[in-house]
Amino acid sequence: MKIKLNGTTINYTERGLPQGIPVVFIHGFPLNHTMWEPQMKALPNHFRAITYDIRGHGESDIGDGQYTIEFFVDDLLSLLDHLVIDRAIICGLSMGGYIALRAYERSPERIKALVLCDTKSEADTNEAKLKRSAIVRNVKTNGTGPFADEFATSILAPQTFQTHPEIVESIKKMIRANSPIGISGASLALGCRTDTSAALSTINVPTLILVGEHDKLTPPTVSESMHSRIVNSELHVVVHAGHMSNLENAPEFNKRLIEFLNRLN
């Protein structure tokens, strides 16, 4: 379904009972809501599972490409308002985790629990900001195809290319389907995001942290640091997975996720 939020059209999907506990999944950069299909299919029907395309991604509007994390949080909170959801469980991977943490920092009363996957609270270092700039230059010069091939190697574990070529292709397909404007805008937004580390000690909702054992972008040590600062949190390392732990080892990811969600009933 598509709705107008904050002057832009946002695409979203729902599954499960409308009166169920809402779980909102926020995808990573530069993908779309379909990356959560293994979780949408696995979640019991008594949960109201919601996925959406962040502005500039998937089937949501691209607009002018001038995005910030604050805009992404605005869209998330407006989506909750549109769906008449007072409090939701927010599950975000990578960029989705950045959005989830900033949403908690801004509006903790809207969040029932957090699932933080392959993400971190720190803002970009100067080195990381330069890499974001290189991404913008790359997609503007060479298009999304070559970028998709390159980016896939940084977010997937090496063994995934051998054992799950279909996952590799699905990741590349999602990236190629996005526009250079959307990818560039999101990359700049990520590079300019604020540091939410100070908020970690204030989180007082149940929090699940999941990370792939071979995640090179946000390695397990980063998740361990978050875990140590979020009092009511639990951490699980997803074996045989890189940065896309929900896809690379969906059975293990889903087991940990559903166990956590069921304890919230």
* Cα–Cα distance measured from residue 61 to residue 52, given in angstroms and rounded to the nearest whole number: 12
Question: What integer pLDDT is reported at residue 18 of this predicted model?
Answer: 93
Which two three-digit tokens encode residue 141?
Answer: 């010069």
* Cα–Cα distance measured from residue 254 to residue 249, given in angstroms and rounded to the nearest whole number: 9
Beta strands in 94-212, from DSSP E residues, in sequence order: 111-117, 207-212
Question: What integer pLDDT is reported at residue 136 of this predicted model?
Answer: 97
| Coil/strand/helix, residue 118 | coil
Question: What integer pLDDT is reported at residue 232 of this predicted model?
Answer: 86
Please list the ranges in the chain whose pLDDT falls under 50.
none
**How many domains are contained in the chain?**
1
CB–CB of 161/245 below 8 Å? no
* Cα–Cα distance measured from residue 7 to residue 78, given in angstroms and rounded to the nearest whole number: 11
Q: Which residues contact 206 (CB under 8 A, 6 or more apart)?
A: 113, 114, 232, 233, 260, 263, 264
| Coil/strand/helix, residue 177 | helix
- Residue 57's domain comprises 2-262
* Cα–Cα distance measured from residue 117 to residue 72, given in angstroms and rounded to the nearest whole number: 18
| Coil/strand/helix, residue 207 | strand
CATH number at residue 199: 3.40.50.1820
Which two three-digit tokens encode residue 233?
Answer: 């949190």
Provide φ and ψ at 203, rounded to 5°. Answer: -70, 120
Closest CA to 115 of 250, 236, 249: 236
Question: What integer pLDDT is reported at residue 8 of this predicted model?
Answer: 96
Q: Which residues contact 258 (CB under 8 A, 6 or more apart)?
A: 42, 43, 44
| Cis peptide upstream of residue 30 (ω within 30 degrees of 0) | yes
CB–CB of 20/47 below 8 Å? yes
